[in-house]
C-alpha cells in the first residue's frame, strides 16, 4: 500500500472517530441538557404557581376559585408566538393540585379529579419535604410520549405542607428544537467531515507527490541517469539536497577510482613504447634509427597529452548534471566555426569538407563551446577514417522539433562487432593504412554533450560505404 493511501486512511479513521464522538456527545449530553433546562424552568413555574394557588387551596376553593379560572383561561389563550422559527399557539402546561393525602383536587385538564396520586414520585417526595419530579409515558407503547412532571409544596400559614402543585409538560414540546439542533449538528458535522476529508486527500496527495518526486529521483540516480534534484518544499527540499550531496560525493569517489584505473591502463601502452625507445637510444644507433625512435617518443608523448586533455574535458562534461547558462546557438554559425577549426587537419589528410544546411535559421539552446567541441570530434574522427581525395560531409536537417547534425565519410565503416561499443570510454578502432589508434574518448565526449543538451548521439554505416555519425538535439522555437 502506498504511503499516500496509508496517510489518507489514517486521517479518515481520525476524522470518523471525531465525528462519532461528536454524535455521541450530542446524544449523551445535548438532549439531556435541553431537558434539564426545561426541568429547571418547570421547577420555577411550579413554585410560582404554588404560591399563587395557596390562598384558594387553603380556603377550599381550589377547584372553583380564582386560580382555577385563571388556569382554565390559560388553556384557552391564543399565544401565537414565534420561537426560533416555530409557531406556538397554545400552552402545553398541565397543572394539577393534590391535598395532603395525594388526592387530586384540581386538574387543569379536567380528567383526573379525585384520583390518588400519592404513589407518584412528584407527589410522594414533595409531601415528605423533598424535591419531587418524574417523567412518565402518557402512552406506554410510545417512547416519545414522555411527560415531565415537576412538583412544588403548598404550605399553610404555619409552614406545613398542606398540598402539592405539579406542573406537567410533554417532552415532545421541545422535540422540534432538539431535532432542528440535531439536524444542524449533523449537517455541519457532514460539512466538517467532508472538508476534513478533502483536506486529508489534498495533504495525502501533496505528501505522496513530494515523496514520489524524491523516489523517482533516487531511481534515476540508481540507473545512472543525469537528472536534477526535484523541486520540493519544506523538509522534502532539505532531503532532496541531502540526497544530491550524497550522490555527488559517492559519484565523485567512484568517478576518481574508475578514471585512475582506466587512465593507468591506457597509459601503459605509450609508456612502454617510450621506455623501449629510450632504452634503445642509450646505445649507439644509426642516425635513421635514432630519428625514428625519437619520433616514436614524440608521437607517444603527444598521444598521452591528447589523452589527458580529452580525459579532462570528458570528466568536466560527465560531472555536470545540467547546463549552467544555456543560450540560443545558431547552427549555421556553429558549423562554420567548427569547419574552420578542422580545416588544417582536413587539408593535411587530403580530405575535402562540404556542408549542407537544410534549415539556415535553425537554433538550439545550449553551450556553444561544448557543441563546437563535439562536432569537431566527429569531424576529426571522420577525417581520420576518410580515404585521401574523398569528401567529408556535414549536414543539418530538421525533423519536427528535432535537429539532426550529421557527419558522413566514405571510410571503411563500423565493423559489426564494434557497433554497440563505439561510444564507450577508451574504445577505439585502428585507423586505415596502419595509423595509430585514437584515445577512444572523442565519441564518448560527443555522447555526453548530446545527453547534456537533452539529445542523443549515434553512429551507423552509410549506404555505399562509410559511416554517418550524428547528434540529435531539441530545436529551439524560432520567432
Residue 193 lies in a domain: no
**Mean pLDDT confidence for 443-460:** 83
Note whether residue 76 is domain-resident. yes
Domain final residue, candidates 180, 198, 218 = 180
Count of structural domains, the chain? 3
* pLDDT (0 to 100) of residue 216: 76
Using an 8 Å Cβ cutoff, are 125 and 109 in contact? no
Q: How far is CA 251 from CA 255, 312, 315, 354, 446, in A?
A: 6, 16, 12, 41, 21
For the segment 8-30, what is each residue's pLDDT rounded down to a tens digit?
A: 677 777 777 777 777 677 666 66
- Tell me phi and psi for residue 164, to 5 degrees: -135, 135
Q: How confident is the model at residue 317 (pLDDT cuts 50, 70, 90)?
A: low
Question: Other C-beta atoms within 10 Å of 146: how many?
Answer: 16
Q: Nine-digit cell at 350?
A: 587530403
Q: Would you place residue 474 in the very low, low, confident or very high pLDDT band (cuts 50, 70, 90)?
A: confident
pLDDT at 343: 86
Query: Is 395 a domain residue?
Result: yes
| CA dist., res. 377 & res. 448, Å (int) | 12
Question: Tens digit of pLDDT for each residue in 381-394?
Answer: 888 888 888 999 99
| Between 289 and 108, the higher pLDDT residue | 108
390: Cβ–Cβ under 8 A, 6 or more apart, which residues? 351, 352, 409, 410, 411
CATH number at residue 242: 1.10.287.130
Does an H or E element contain 322, and which? none
Q: Among the three residues 115, 150, 180, which one is the final residue of a domain in this structure? A: 180
**Same domain for 316 and 176?**
no
- pLDDT score for 431: 67
pLDDT one-digit tens code per residue, 166-194: 999 988 877 777 777 777 777 777 787 78
Asked, for residue 415, whether it belongs to a domain, the answer is yes
Question: If you average pLDDT over residues 445-460, what whole number do you get?
Answer: 83
Q: Same domain, yes or no, for 369 and 441?
A: yes
**CATH no. for residue 42?**
3.30.450.20
Q: Give the pLDDT band (50/70/90) at residue 226.
A: low
Residue 124 lies in a domain: yes
Q: Answer with the residue of higher pLDDT: 478 or 204.
A: 204
| pLDDT greater than 60 at residue 265 | no
Does residue 260 form part of some domain?
Answer: yes
Task: Verify that 280 and 364 share a domain, yes or no.
Answer: no
CATH classification of the domain holding 344: 3.30.565.10
What per-residue confidence (pLDDT) applies to 337? Answer: 85
Question: With contact defined as beta carbons under 8 Å apart, do 459 and 328 qualify?
Answer: no
Threshold 0.75, pTM exceeds = no
Structural contact between residues 453 and 474, judged by C-beta atoms closer than 8 angstroms = yes
Sheet-wide strand order for 456-461? 352-357, 391-399, 402-408, 467-474, 456-461
Nearest to 306 by CA among 415, 445, 471: 445
Same domain, 426 and 345: yes
Check whether residue 246 and residue 364 sit in a common domain: no
State the pLDDT at residue 255: 47
Q: Which of 68-72, 233-237, 274-278, 374-378 has the lowest mean pLDDT?
A: 233-237
Of residues 228 and 357, more confidence is placed in 357
Asked whether residue 191 is assigned to any structural domain, the reply reads no
C-alpha cell at 76: 384557552
The stretch 435-455 carries a mean pLDDT of: 73
**Same-domain check for residues 33 and 166:** yes
Least confident of 247-261, 296-310, 355-369, 435-449: 247-261
d(CA 36, CA 83): 19
Residue 195 lies in a domain: no
**∠ at Cα 303 (300, 309), nearest 5°?**
145
Query: Going by C-beta distance under 8 Å and a sequence separation of 6 or more, which residues neighbour residue 387?
Result: 410, 411, 432
Q: Does 355 share its domain with 470? A: yes
One domain for residues 443 and 312: no
300 and 336, same domain (yes or no):
no
Percent of the chain clearing pLDDT 90 (strictly above) = 17
Between 90 and 126, the higher pLDDT residue: 126
* Between residues 236 and 53, the one the model is more confident about: 53
Note whether 342 and 462 are same-domain residues: yes
Reported as a single tens digit per residue, the pLDDT across 289-309 is 777 777 777 766 765 665 566
Same domain? 413 vs 296: no
Q: Are 52 and 175 found together in one domain?
A: yes
- The predicted pLDDT at position 315 comes to 57
Which carries the bigger pLDDT value, residue 233 or residue 76?
Answer: 76
- pLDDT tens-digit readout, 28-50: 666 677 778 788 989 999 999 99
**Structure-derived torsion over alpha carbons of residues 319, 322, 328, 331, reported in degrees to the nearest 10:** 50
Mean pLDDT across the chain: 78
Q: The domain containing residue 94 runs over which residues?
A: 3-180
Amino acid at each position: 500500500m502506498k504511503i499516500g493511501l496509508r496517510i489518507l486512511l489514517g486521517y479518515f479513521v481520525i476524522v470518523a472517530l471525531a465525528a462519532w464522538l461528536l454524535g455521541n456527545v450530542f446524544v449523551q449530553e445535548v438532549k439531556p441538557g435541553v431537558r434539564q433546562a426545561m426541568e429547571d424552568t418547570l421547577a420555577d413555574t411550579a413554585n410560582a404557581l404554588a404560591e399563587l394557588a395557596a390562598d384558594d387551596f387553603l380556603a377550599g376553593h381550589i377547584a372553583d376559585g380564582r386560580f382555577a379560572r385563571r388556569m382554565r383561561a390559560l388553556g384557552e389563550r391564543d399565544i401565537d408566538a414565534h420561537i426560533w422559527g416555530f409557531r406556538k399557539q397554545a400552552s402545553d402546561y398541565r397543572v394539577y393540585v393534590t391535598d395532603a393525602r395525594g388526592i387530586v383536587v384540581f386538574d387543569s385538564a379536567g380528567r383526573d379529579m379525585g384520583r390518588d396520586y400519592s404513589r407518584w414520585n412528584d407527589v410522594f417526595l414533595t409531601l415528605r419535604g423533598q424535591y419531587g419530579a418524574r417523567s412518565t409515558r402518557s402512552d406506554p407503547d410510545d417512547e416519545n410520549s414522555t411527560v415531565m412532571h415537576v412538583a412544588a409544596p403548598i404550605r399553610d400559614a404555619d409552614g406545613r405542607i398542606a398540598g402539592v402543585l405539579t406542573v406537567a409538560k410533554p417532552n415532545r414540546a421541545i422535540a422540534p428544537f432538539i431535532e432542528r439542533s440535531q439536524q444542524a449538528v449533523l449537517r455541519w458535522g457532514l460539512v466538517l467531515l467532508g472538508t476534513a476529508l478533502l483536506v486529508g486527500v489534498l495533504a495525502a496527495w501533496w505528501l505522496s507527490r513530494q515523496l514520489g518526486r524524491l523516489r523517482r529521483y533516487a531511481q534515476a540516480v540508481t540507473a545512472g541517469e543525469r537528472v536534477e534534484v526535484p523541486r520540493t518544499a519544506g523538509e522534502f527540499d532539505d532531503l532532496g539536497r541531502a540526497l544530491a550531496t550524497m550522490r555527488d560525493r559517492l559519484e565523485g569517489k567512484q568517478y576518481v577510482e574508475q578514471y585512475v584505473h582506466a587512465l593507468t591502463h591506457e597509459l601503459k601502452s605509450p609508456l612502454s613504447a617510450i621506455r623501449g625507445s629510450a632504452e634503445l637510444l642509450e646505445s649507439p644507433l644509426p642516425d635513421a634509427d635514432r630519428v625514428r625512435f625519437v619520433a616514436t617518443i614524440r608521437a607517444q608523448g603527444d598521444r598521452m597529452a591528447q589523452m589527458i586533455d580529452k580525459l579532462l574535458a570528458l570528466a568536466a562534461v560527465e560531472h555536470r548534471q545540467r547546463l549552467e547558462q544555456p543560450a540560443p546557438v545558431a547552427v549555421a554559425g556553429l558549423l562554420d566555426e567548427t569547419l574552420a577549426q578542422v580545416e588544417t587537419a582536413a587539408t593535411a589528410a587530403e580530405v575535402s569538407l562540404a556542408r549542407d544546411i537544410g534549415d539556415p535559421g535553425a537554433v538550439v539552446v545550449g553551450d556553444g563551446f561544448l557543441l563546437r567541441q563535439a562536432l569537431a570530434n566527429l569531424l576529426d574522427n571522420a577525417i581520420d577514417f576518410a580515404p585521401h581525395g574523398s569528401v567529408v560531409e556535414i549536414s543539418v536537417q530538421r525533423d519536427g522539433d528535432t535537429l539532426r547534425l550529421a557527419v558522413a565519410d566514405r571510410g571503411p565503416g563500423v565493423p559489426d562487432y564494434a557497433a554497440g561499443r563505439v561510444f564507450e570510454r577508451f574504445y577505439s578502432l585502428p585507423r586505415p593504412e596502419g595509423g595509430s589508434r585514437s584515445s577512444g574518448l572523442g565519441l564518448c565526449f560527443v555522447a555526453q554533450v548530446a545527453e547534456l543538451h537533452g539529445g542523443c548521439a549515434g553512429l551507423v554505416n552509410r549506404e555505399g560505404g562509410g559511416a554517418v555519425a550524428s547528434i540529435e538535439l531539441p530545436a529551439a522555437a524560432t520567432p
